[in-house]
Each structure stands twice: as C-alpha cells, then as structure tokens.
Amino acid sequence: MTRTQKQAERSDEHSGNSAKQNGRGTASAVQSVDRAVSVLEILARHGEAGVTEIAEELDVHKSTAFRLLGVLENRGLVAQAKDRGKYYLGAGVLRLAGAAAVRLDISQEGVPVCRELADELGETVNIAVFDDDAAVNIMQARGTASVTAQNWLGRRTPLHATSSGKVLLAHLPPTLREGLLARSLPRFTERTITGATVLRGELEAVIEQGCGVTIEELELGLAAVAAPVRAHDGKVIAAISVSGPVYRMGPDRLPELTKRTVAAGAELSRRMGYGF
C-alpha cells in the first residue's frame, strides 16, 4: 500500500469515527428528550412522584432522573414540594396547554364567524393573538372584494401600528403594556404613532369605544378596524379585524364596518363561553 493510500485510509477512518460520534450524540439528545417527555407523562399519571420512583419507571440511574427533573424544573414544567421531596407538573405545562387550547378553540369557533363577516363585507377578515411583542394572525377569510389582497396568515404584525395590535395591547396587564410602550416604536408611514404618550391615549379610546382603528399606519393605502374577543372569564384573548384599501374603508363606510366587526367579536366571544 502506498503512503497516499494509507493517508486516505486514515482519513476515511477518522471521518467514519466522527460520523459515528455525531450519530451517537444525536441519538443521545433524542433519548434525553424522550425521557423528559416520559417524566411529564409519569407526573401527569401519578400526580406527583419522587426521584426514586421516576428513575425506576424510566429504568435509569437516580442521578439521570435527577438531572432530567432539574432541567424541567428550570423551565417551569415541573415543581417540587420541598417538604415531601416529591415532584409535580409545574405552571409551565398549564401555560403551554392553555395557549394551545385557546388557539385551537379560536381556530375552530372562528371559522364561521370570519367567513360570514368576510362574505357580508367583502373585505379581508383576520383573527390575531398576542405573541411576545407582536400580533400574530392565526386565521384569515377573504371577501369577494379582496381577492387580490395580500396574505396575512401567520404574519407577525406590530402592536402599535395595527388595529388588532392596538386592541391586544390595550387589554394587556398594565405592567406588561408599559414595558412594551417603553420600547422604541418603529415608524412605517407618516401616520404611524411612535410616541408612547399619544399611543396611551389611543389605547384608552380603544377600551372606551370597544374597537381599534388604523388608517395607513402600517402601510399606505391600508385601513383596518378590530374588536376584542374574550374568553369565558372576560379576558381578551384575541382580536378580530376587517382590513381593506382606504378608498373602500372611508369615513362614510367605516362606522358600519366598525359596528359589524364589534358584533362579530361579541359573537366569537359568546362562542368562547363569554357571557354565560
């Protein structure tokens, strides 16, 4: 065998070892995720359990179970009763489940409301929810007059420059709302409100009037009106909006669009259990 062939063989062997190591690393990571999910399932089944019990069910060493519980506890997915040494599902699980349930319920109940409103008004109808620092559109229906409208589904839009965003922002807990208002508010058009003081006044009007309106604040030529959607406990969990070009949503038509959007918001809120 020549020197070059030996070098190539060693190179191939090294590459093979690296691939095996990477494969083992990936497999180990997947196994850890699988075990972490199993821990959550064990706690869901038993209500609470200690490290020894969890280790036995997973068939792993107690130190491995303890590490898994530590990671889950740091993320708020499990909590520990210090006096008994037992672990139970944490508030983080409720937060994730609640968010999933809300989106699922709105997605199911919002379809007929959105379609009816879009058919009646001929404009684009969206349902948006609050997500960190933006409004995310989770549902969209288009009316006959908006066949060429852009797709807003899945888009994150700024809270301060959209009708849905203003509704969601206005109904956030005061501390969270003020934290968002303290940030720099980007300008998208000459009409965008970028001052916190002016925006606070706008948000007060949203609460008083029961709706939010934007005219060319996000895009030139675009107008929108939105109304809150409430859960059974009265908490605002989403906003339903109607958007379209300014020439179709002018002062003569805006009052009627607002009235119908607020009514749709009330209907969707009723479907979500509000008012019973």
User: Could you tell me the domains of the chain?
Assistant: 23-99 (1.10.10.10), 103-270 (3.30.450.40)
CB neighbours (10 Å) of residue 204? Answer: 11
CB 89 within 8 A of CB 77: yes
What is the rounded CA–CA span in Å between residue 268 and residue 266? 6
- The 3-state DSSP class for residue 270 equals helix
- The 3-state DSSP class for residue 242 equals strand
Per-residue model confidence as pLDDT tens digits over 62-121: 999 989 999 998 988 888 877 678 888 887 876 676 666 566 578 788 899 999 999 999
Q: What is the mean pLDDT of residues 44-49?
A: 86
Q: What pLDDT does residue 276 have?
A: 57
- The 3-state DSSP class for residue 81 equals strand
CB 161 within 8 A of CB 122: no
Mean pLDDT rounded to a whole number for the chain: 85
Q: What pLDDT does residue 8 have?
A: 47
Residues of the chain by 3-state class (helix, strand, coil), percent to 5: 55, 20, 25
pLDDT band at 6 (very low <50, low <70, confident <90, very high): very low
Q: What is the mean pLDDT of residues 170-178?
A: 94
pTM greater than the 0.75 cutoff: no
Q: What is the largest CA-CA distance in the chain?
A: 90
Lowest-pLDDT choice from 24-33, 124-133, 255-264: 24-33
Q: What pLDDT does residue 4 have?
A: 45
Q: What pLDDT does residue 99 have?
A: 62
Q: What pLDDT does residue 104 have?
A: 57
Q: What six digits make up the tokens of 87? A: 């672990």
**DSSP 8-state code for residue 49:** B
Burial readout 83-100 (b: 16 or more C-beta within 10 A, e: otherwise): eeebbbbbebbeeeeeee
- CA-based nearest residue to 260, from 247, 238, 241: 241
- The 3-state DSSP class for residue 141 equals strand
Q: What pLDDT does residue 48 have?
A: 86
Share of the chain above pLDDT 90, in %: 55
**Structure-model confidence comparison of residues 101 and 233, the more confident one:** 233
Q: What six digits make up the tokens of 1? A: 């065998």
Which residue(s) pair with 134 in the sheet?
131, 158
